[in-house]
């Protein structure tokens, strides 16, 4: 999960209460959330939902409230729905969602599970970790099994790219220019706008050497 700075002014569709999923709303959410699902961090999702962070359950105010609308892929929204109404709010400036939920990347393309771990014992952190764990691991139906296997492979590919740049950087045979370019790529991968950024940044947070090298690039 990643922190989001939401624009302060609501799109006009919400002010007029004509649509909570109008083009202007989707465009604003897409830009503010870096075109990533806020739960699984899949970038440029083919099927997206304008999600109500707190289920509106008929409340017109919650239905059109800008602060209650989030950018999510359809799969994650299906997991969340109205069952998770007590999650960490990634748009809250006082909540460091990255460090509250540990993400350990799959180490092979065929890994059968992904470690998602709450790093605090409050209800919101535990609930959020539980939801993300289900998104990356639940395979109790045929459709879920195919989808979660594909998702884990996508995460692995990003992690493999991260490792490739590390290998270039530490290789004694790499020339200075290649090392500098690899470091630039690694620093870029630390940005929260990157796909599956939590997995890559946690690999850095858990390595003192990498944290010293890349820690200041984690935003």
Q: Tell me the DSSP string of 124-190.
A: HHHHHHHHHHHHHH--SSHHHHHHHHHHHHHHHHHHHHHHHHHHHHH-TTS-HHHHHHHHHHHHHHT
Q: Do the Cβ atoms of 71 and 45 come closer than 8 Å?
A: no
- Is the domain of 83 the same as that of 42? yes
Considering the entire predicted model, what is its pTM?
0.93
In this predicted structure, what is the pLDDT of residue 176? 97
Q: How confident is the model at residue 15 (pLDDT cuts 50, 70, 90)?
A: confident
Contacts of 25 (CB under 8 A, 6+ apart): 11, 13, 14, 19, 50, 69
The verdict on 1 and 75 lying in the same domain is yes
Q: In the structure encoding, which two tokens stand for residue 155, read together?
A: 């995460």
Bridge partners (DSSP) of residue 52 are 69
* Secondary structure of residue 44 in the 3-state scheme: coil
Which tens digit of pLDDT belongs to each residue from 102-148?
Answer: 999 999 999 989 999 999 999 999 999 999 999 999 998 888 889 99
Same domain, 102 and 43: no
CA distance 100 to 127: 12
Question: What would the two tokens of residue 208 be?
Answer: 């003192």
Specify whether the CB–CB gap between 219 and 191 falls below 8 A: yes
Q: Which domain holds residue 52?
A: 1-91
Same domain, 107 and 189: yes
Do 85 and 100 belong to one domain? no
Number of domains the chain contains: 2
pLDDT, residue 66, reads: 95
Chain segment 26-83, per-residue pLDDT in tens: 999 999 999 999 999 999 766 888 999 998 888 899 999 999 999 999 999 999 987 8
Does 74 share its domain with 110?
A: no
Query: What count of other Cβ atoms lies within 10 Å of the Cβ of residue 180?
Result: 12
- Do 141 and 162 lie in one domain? The reply is yes
Alpha-carbon span 103 to 120, nearest angstrom = 14
Last residue of a domain, one of 43, 72, 91: 91
Other CB atoms within 10 A of residue 134 CB = 18
> 2 and 80 share a domain?
yes
Residues 49 and 69 both lie in one domain = yes
Q: What is the pLDDT at residue 17?
A: 87
Torsion of CA 63, 39, 84, 58, to 10 degrees: 10
């Amino acid at each position: 999960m990643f922190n989001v700075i939401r624009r302060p002014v609501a799109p006009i569709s919400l002010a007029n209460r004509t649509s909570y999923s109008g083009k202007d709303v989707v465009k604003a959410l897409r830009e503010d959330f870096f075109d990533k699902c806020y739960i699984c961090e899949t970038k440029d999702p083919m099927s997206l939902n304008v999600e109500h962070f707190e289920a509106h359950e008929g409340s017109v105010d919650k239905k059109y409230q800008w602060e209650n609308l989030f950018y999510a892929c359809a799969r994650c929204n299906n997991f969340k729905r109205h069952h998770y109404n007590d999650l960490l709010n990634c748009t809250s400036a006082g909540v460091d969602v990255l460090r509250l939920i540990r993400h350990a990347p799959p180490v092979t393309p065929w890994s059968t599970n992904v470690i998602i771990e709450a790093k605090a014992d409050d209800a919101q952190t535990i609930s959020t970790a539980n939801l993300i764990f289900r998104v990356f691991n639940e395979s109790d139906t045929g459709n879920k099994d195919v989808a979660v296997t594909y998702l884990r492979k996508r995460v692995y590919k990003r992690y493999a790219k991260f490792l490739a740049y590390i290998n270039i950087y530490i290789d004694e045979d790499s020339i200075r220019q290649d090392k500098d370019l690899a470091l630039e790529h690694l620093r870029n991968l630390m940005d929260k706008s990157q796909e599956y950024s939590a997995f890559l940044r946690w690999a850095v947070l858990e390595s003192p050497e990498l944290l010293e090298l890349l820690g200041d690039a984690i935003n």
